[in-house]
Amino acid sequence: MDFEADPPKTLTTRSKCSACFKQYKKKEHLVAHMKASHHSVHQPKCGWCAKHCKTYESLREHLTGPLSKAHCSRVFADLGCRLCMKIFDSSASLSEHKEMCQLTAPAPLGTVKISCTEYQVDMPAPNYGNYRNYGRGPEAIAIDCEMVGGGSDGTLDLCGRVCLIDEDENLIFHTYVQPQIPVTNYRYEVTGITEEHLRDAMPIKEARERILQILYNGESIGRLRLDGGKARLLVGHGLEHDLGCLRMNYPDHLLRDTAKYRPFMKTNLVSHSLKYLTQTYLGYDIQSGVHDPFVDCVSAMRLYKRMRAQDHHFEEFEASISAQHTQYFNSNSFDSWKPKELESMNPDELFQISKSKYKCWCLDLRQELQV
C-alpha cells in the first residue's frame, strides 16, 4: 500500500521581546506584550544576559532562584554582588565594590528625651528649639514617624515622634509629638515611648508647621503643586501613613516612597518592609527591637540614593532605529502609532518607544544636573 509522504514542515518565525526575551508566534502578540509590560531601560537588568525584569525580586529569582538561568547563575555566583545585583568583570573589582556597597547601620538616637532639633528658618525661635543653620537645604529630606495608639482599644495610630534628615544623614528635625487625643497604648516594646516623653512634647500642629516650612523651602503653594520649584523631595517608607498621622498633605510628584517604588516591590507588586529592603539591598539589620526613627530615615534615604545613582543609558537602542521612525522618538505611548506601523517595527524599535509605568529615581539626578 502506498502512503503519501508527509508535507514538509515549515519553520515558524518567532518574534522575541528585546527586554524580557519572551517569544511570540505573531508580531501582533509581541506588540500587545510590549503595550502591557511597559519595558524600559529603567527596569532592573541582568548584568550578563541583559534580560530586563519588573522588579529586583524578579531579577534575584533570575540569578539565584530555583529556576534561575543556569549560565547567568554561575557567573553571578562568582562575580555578582548580592546587594545591588551587579556583575563585575573580575574578583578584584567585585571585592573593591563590596567595600562600598556593604553599609553599616547608623547609630540610633535612642529614646532619651531631648530638645527639638531643627533647621534655621526665617521665623522667631520657639521655646523648645535648638537650631542648626545649614544654609540652603538639600534636594531631598527623609522622614519617619513612630506611632503610639489611641482610641478605646489602642489601635488608632497617632504620631508620637517624628524625625527628618538630609541627604548627608544629618539630623535636621526631631521631636516627640503630643497627639490631639489621649494616648491609650504607648506601644513601648516597639516605640520606646513613655508617658514622660510626651508630657511636654510639641503639639502636632506645631510639628506639622515646622516640617512643612522645611519641605517648602520658601516656595509658594502654587509653584509647589506645579513643578515643585525649590521645594524638597520627601523620602520615606510608607509615606502615606506618616503624612496621614501628621494630618499633612504634600504633592505626589515630590514623594519618593521606598514602599511603593516598583523595582523594590515583590514580583506581584506588593510592598516589602523597610527591614527587608535594608537587609537585602544595604546589608545591615534594623528594627530588631525598639524602632528608631533616625535609623529608619537613614535607611530610606540610602535606598533612595542608591536607586537615584543608577546609570541608565537612555539612548541604548537609538542606533538601531530606522530613519522612517525618527519622528516618533519622543512618543509617550504606543497609542501614537497605527497598528500596521507597530507591526512593521523590529523588537528593538518597539523597546525604544516603550515607556516605564513609574518615574525612575535616576531622573531626579539627571534633572538636578541639568539645572
Domain range summary for the chain, segments of one domain joined by +:
109-116+137-309
Quote the pLDDT of residue 365: 79
Mean pLDDT for all residues in the chain: 85
pTM assigned to the model: 0.86
- Average pLDDT, integer, range 326-337: 58
Contact 165, 294 (CB under 8 A): yes
Largest Cα span, the chain: 108
- Counting Cα atoms < 13 Å in the Cβ hemisphere of 313 gives 7
Quote the pLDDT of residue 224: 87
- Average pLDDT, integer, range 4-22: 73
CATH architecture, domain defined by 109-116+137-309: 2-Layer Sandwich (3.30)
Instruction: Dig out the grid coordinates for 62 from the structure.
Output: 533570575
Residue 9 predicted with pLDDT over 70: no
- Average pLDDT, integer, range 311-315: 72
In tens, the pLDDT along 234-266 reads: 999 999 999 999 999 999 999 999 999 999 999
Tell me how crowded residue 19 is: count the other CB atoms within 10 A of its CB.
Answer: 24
Residue 315 predicted with pLDDT over 70: no
Quote the pLDDT of residue 275: 98
Residue 219 predicted with pLDDT over 70: yes
What's the count of helices (H) and strands (E) in the chain, helices before strands? 14, 11
In tens, the pLDDT along 115-173 reads: 666 654 333 333 223 333 333 334 899 999 999 999 999 999 999 999 999 999 999 99
Residue 227 predicted with pLDDT over 70: yes
Quote the pLDDT of residue 208: 96
